[in-house]
Amino acid sequence: MSKPTILTGDRTTGPLHIGHYAGSLSNRLRYQYSHDQFLLLADTQALTDNAHDPEKVRRSVIEVALDYLAVGIDPGHTTICLQSHLPALAELSMLYLNFVTVARLERNPTIKDEIRARGFGRDIPAGFLCYPAAQAADITAFKATVVPVGEDQAPLIEQTNEIVRRINAMADCAVLPEARAIIPKAGRLPGVDGKAKMSKSGGNAIALSASSEKIRNAVKAMFTDPGHLRVEDPGCIEGNVVFTYLDAFDQDQDELGELKLQYQRGGLGDGKIKARLEGIVQDLIAPIRERRAQFSEDRGYVLEVIKEGTERARERTEATKREVVNALGLFEL
Ligand code: TRP
């Protein structure tokens, strides 16, 4: 029995943060031995909203690869590959664009949110609007059936499956499999300032490479319940970023449940819960930071991992592209 295939990836726009860890890296670690896993360094997708800064996109390829290795992605089992060097992904994207309408792309909730967040107005880069078709190409080129992603990406997997069904219907055979998103229970981590989205650009993220001082300061400044002024006052859990983070990272959920009750009753200070969270985040990041420093001393090794992974991915994606071209009945030479 061959293992089911995972494909997921990250735009290369800067180092990853603990939101990525909670959102999908932890699932990638969990499944890397039971699945045939591919991680895509999505540099061409990064260009769709960073065309003004290709230098950042280029630089970030190594940063994201370092983060993968530092958290424990094992290149002996997971293939790390570079999107811009896999031409089949671009070719499949062009084919898929004929099986999706502009209206459907505009209705995609992820795209709608991101257009708003980026303030594109009427000036949406065409590549950006169309990236759901490209992401469908990424997923299907590997014939992935499992896609670990953050909650915000779910509509993209849905749209991928719509494209898959249209292609299969046209081809009159199941040339492509449908895929299933794996989304963490804890939901999306907000920024340390309480804003809905944690992002590098928003300055409200804790990077996986953060120094212990950065972590301490970030937790200290973290948004709690503004009405919780004295320790004995009852406090609110909802919208309290410290508890949202504890939900995502605390291994002892029973004790956390007790603490929540105590906080809501009154008598538990913000200092205490912040100290608990800081300890947990420090313990999570310290070994990652250490391994990251070691790997970044050996850039040659990191490059080799990406090169080898991209070669392996090229074979697989080219094979799928040929199958799709044939299944659609295009001219053969
Ligand atoms: N859209 C993802 C992000 O914003 C990156 C990505 C590119 C991806 N291709 C993918 C995720 C395929 C899952 C599957 O980080």
Question: What CATH number is attached to the domain comprising 65?
Answer: 3.40.50.620
Residues 286 and 320 in one domain: no
- How far is the centre of ligand 1, averaged over its atoms, from the C-alpha of 151 (Å)? 12
Q: Nearest 5 degrees, angle CA 320-CA 326-CA 329? A: 145
CA of 295 to the centre of ligand 1 (A): 24
Q: Average of pLDDT values for 53-60?
A: 98
* 35/28 Cα distance (integer angstroms): 9
Residues 6+ apart with CB under 8 A from 25: 16, 67, 68, 71, 73
| 84 Cβ contact partners less than 8 Å away, ≥ 6 residues apart | 43, 44
Q: How far is the CA of 41 from the centre of ligand 1 (A)?
A: 9
Asked whether residue 95 falls in the same domain as residue 20, the answer is yes
Note the pLDDT tens digit of each residue in 75-104: 999 999 999 999 999 999 999 999 999 999
Best residue for ligand 1 mutational test, from 135, 145, 157, 197 (most atoms within 8 Å of Cβ): 135
Query: What is the reported pLDDT for 202?
Result: 77
pLDDT digits (tens, 9 = 90+) for 186-216: 778 999 888 878 887 778 999 999 999 999 9
pLDDT at 188: 84
Check pLDDT > 80 for residue 252. yes
Residue to substitute in 45, 68, 201 for testing ligand 1 pocket (most ligand atoms within 8 angstroms of CB): 45
Same domain for 93 and 134? yes
The terminus-to-terminus CA distance of the chain in angstroms comes to 35
Cα of 134 to ligand 1 centre, how many Å?
A: 9
Q: Which numbered atom of ligand 1 lies nearest the CA of 42? A: 7
Give the pLDDT of residue 193.
Answer: 87
Looking at the fold, whether 137 and 250 belong to one and the same domain comes out as no
Q: Which whole number is the average pLDDT over 302-326? A: 98
Q: Is there a domain that residue 255 lies in?
A: yes
Domain annotation covers residue 223? yes
Cα separation, 63 vs 61, in Å, equals 5
- What is residue 185's predicted lDDT score, i.e. its pLDDT? 82
Same domain, 163 and 257: no
Separation of alpha carbons 84 and 313, rounded Å: 12
Nearest CA to ligand 1 atom 9: 135
Same domain, 276 and 306: no
What's this model's pTM, rounded to 2 decimal places?
0.95
Query: In this structure, are 153 and 233 located in the same domain?
Result: no
Residues 289 and 304 in one domain: no
Is pLDDT above 90 for 333? no
Query: What torsion, rounded to 10 degrees, do the Cα atoms 131, 133, 138, 142 define?
Result: 170
Q: Which pLDDT does position 199 carry in this prediction?
A: 81
Within 8 A by CB and 6+ apart from 163, the residues are: 96, 99, 100, 133, 136, 140
Q: What is the pLDDT of residue 85?
A: 98
206 lies in some domain: no
Give the C-alpha separation, 7 to 181, whole Å: 10
Residues lining ligand 1, Cβ inside 6 A: 7-11, 40, 42, 45, 135, 138-139, 147, 149, 153
Domain presence at residue 62: yes
Average pLDDT of the chain to the nearest whole number: 95
> Can you give the residue range of the structural domain that contains 103?
5-189+298-327
% of the chain at pLDDT higher than 90: 89
Work out the burial of residue 331: count CB atoms within 10 Å of its CB; fewer than 13 is exposed, 13-18 middle, 19 or more buried: exposed
Distance from C-alpha of 81 to C-alpha of 19, rounded to nearest angstrom: 22
Between the CA of 283 and the centroid of ligand 1 the distance, in Å, is 28
The pLDDT of residue 245 is 95
Query: Which tokens hold the place of 280?
Result: 């947990």
How many domains would you assign to the chain? Answer: 2
